[in-house]
Structure 1
């Protein structure tokens, strides 16, 4: 095991916190920034749709470049600086073209930062025995803090501060990664580049498993797209809606806090089973939650539906993908989640217009299908995990 400085895990936690602080400002509040610039709702939808498609394509490609050049830290630094440059375009006067360039450019160039950060954190956990989940939870903390800050600044007169803080978060991500040590190559990788067909990317079993890993996260599509609209349609106050979102993130943080101990008792497929079963309960009961207490109880399940699904997926990829290509593997997972979530959003939108309950029933059905598929996939996953650990 390679000895790294004792505070490396703290710096990796700071890397996640800085990245997710920027993401927590960008995701909820930049549509407002666009609206303040006179961009119409239809144009905002076009920008976000085009940016999402481009981001899904960019994540594995840009992550793979970092892996091929063996420059993960430098890549995160460069991508962060360029991302700050794109957001800086909002300081310039301009309309749809300038705003679209800034938004789409930022979404594309920032796409590989999370998979590359995950890859670095997983390597740190493997090399030092650090707890990946405890490092990753600070990303959730950063996201919540950004939500709170953005909520205070979500007015036309202070929108420039949202832009400034997003730029600062992007630059801080780059500066933090500069403080991280270079990780040594794992010369013990059993899947060498010199062995044709040895890479999991060249094997058929990998791609259905990758799709399955993405499916468990994609069961959140209806909630991410229409959860707030659904709650507002049944007259839940905006303040309570904010509390409900916060409960979900706190539950996620709580799971990350204890996940290291859980992983000693349960293997990654068990985390996925837990996520799938929790999703069946959460989304199946979502339309029946008529009280704040009931809604809050279902939000607690976010710790499993998101947190357990994330931990199980990244752990599986960390065990079956060679260390050198771990950034590419995590980038492919991000793409799998993105593609299936986009499909889920599109279908959920059509169903929501017919009946606001239907999208959540669809998510419960998707989770059930995922659990059934996992029954057949788990032996394959465990066999390949065992092969790597042998």
Structure 2
């Protein structure tokens, strides 16, 4: 198993997310855009996440050449993003966000399937590889936050471009999986739809969309919210990093967690803890101790939920449909994330942070109730 090559790709990929999630909204605010326009611009990549993964997932399952899709997607992401250096007016930024994210969101679902092919029957080790993505995220939020405190937000596009080039380089370092090279099974739409109709599967994907919708205010306005409360950009970066450190610790313990928690317990517990987290951030973010606790809950709201979701898809979809299954997970995450970013953009000034995050809490409670009613009680990970 090429542990370090797979881990290196995750490091680079999520290093880019470490620049986007905390700082993209701040960059758009630096350019003078209103919260509504910021919400719209940030929703565009999430909308692309609704469309692109399904197309690329179908293509990956039909061709079996997922690694080529990853490499082409990484290269085209950097090429399309480079247009941001020419202009920064609203319509041009719409084009930049749509074009580069169409290829960026082609990458991860296919790479998840590649990683699982490399792992084979050792899939419980997935979290040990994925944790390097979290380390990459931390490296960016801390390093870039400090740089922008000193040099300003003008360097943001160049920093993102460097990371995109690194993703492309790492994609060519990853070897092709050998698990299915002898007799590749091509994806079948009828079989995929049959697997989609298994008990609890549709409910799971609806819960995924609601969980990501609840993250809309967090990913779109947390940095803006904290800056308004008087936190420095370096401190904001450290607070983002704290959440990801908690996520890394969970990843390191995930093999043990998977051994004694059922799939149902892990997913529902993550959703309920998310409801608590959003209320705390919306109402008590000016209290550093409360905010630190809320950031530690990232281990549940992203870490445990994401790992459980990856295992759920692997368990419920065949090898021939893994690309489409992972793509559907990514697409519905995009639907939820886009809706979350849009509603947060329009409600931030009209309702305020407390009510905006309260809506997020309601969404995840609804998702938890849905899984409690629809997901079989016997569901386990394995």
TM-score by length of 1: 0.83
Which whole-Å CA distance do the structure 2 matches of 1:151 and 1:86 have between them? 24
- Shift of the 210–224 alpha-carbon distance from structure 1 to 2, 3 Å rule, reads same
Out of 64, 68, 83, the position equivalent to 2:62 is: 68
Aligned position for 2:137 = 143
- Contiguous gaps of at least 5 residues in structure 1: none
- Shift of the 247–157 alpha-carbon distance from structure 1 to 2, 3 Å rule, reads closer
Instruction: State the 1:358 CA deviation.
Output: 1.0
Deviations 1:144-203 (A, max 9, x none): 2122333344446645641541342232232223x34333269899x9849768632366
1:137-286 equivalences under 5 Å are 137-154=131-148, 155=152, 158-159=155-156, 161-177=158-174, 179-184=175-180, 193=188, 199-201=194-196, 206-286=201-281
Instruction: State the 1:289 CA deviation.
Output: 5.1
Deviations 1:288-312 (A, max 9, x none): 4552122101211110111111111
Deviations 1:9-30 (A, max 9, x none): 2221112112122333345556
Relative contact order, CA 8 A, sep 6+: which one is greater? 2
1:85-96 equivalences under 5 Å are 85-90=79-84, 93-94=86-87, 96=89
Which whole-Å CA distance do the structure 2 matches of 1:305 and 1:378 have between them? 19
Instruction: State the 1:376 CA deviation.
Output: 1.2
Residues 13, 133 of structure 2: 8 Å contact kept = yes
- Shift of the 283–263 alpha-carbon distance from structure 1 to 2, 3 Å rule, reads same
When the two structures are aligned, how many residues end up with a matched partner?
A: 375
Which whole-Å CA distance do the structure 1 matches of 2:264 and 2:25 have between them? 37
Which whole-Å CA distance do the structure 1 matches of 2:344 and 2:189 have between them? 45
Residues 118, 177 of structure 2: 8 Å contact kept = no
Aligned position for 2:359 = 362
Instruction: State the 1:261 CA deviation.
Output: 1.5
What SS does the corresponding residue of 2:46 show, helix, strand or coil? helix
TM-score by length of 2: 0.84
Aligned position for 1:310 = 306
- Shift of the 94–10 alpha-carbon distance from structure 1 to 2, 3 Å rule, reads same
Out of 329, 332, 339, the position equivalent to 1:333 is: 329
Aligned alpha-carbon RMSD (Å): 3.3
- Shift of the 168–32 alpha-carbon distance from structure 1 to 2, 3 Å rule, reads farther
Which whole-Å CA distance do the structure 1 matches of 2:293 and 2:68 have between them? 43
Residues 113, 322 of structure 2: 8 Å contact kept = yes
- Shift of the 101–276 alpha-carbon distance from structure 1 to 2, 3 Å rule, reads closer
Are 2:52 and 1:55 aligned?
no
Which whole-Å CA distance do the structure 2 matches of 1:344 and 1:45 have between them? 9
Residues 145, 236 of structure 2: 8 Å contact kept = no
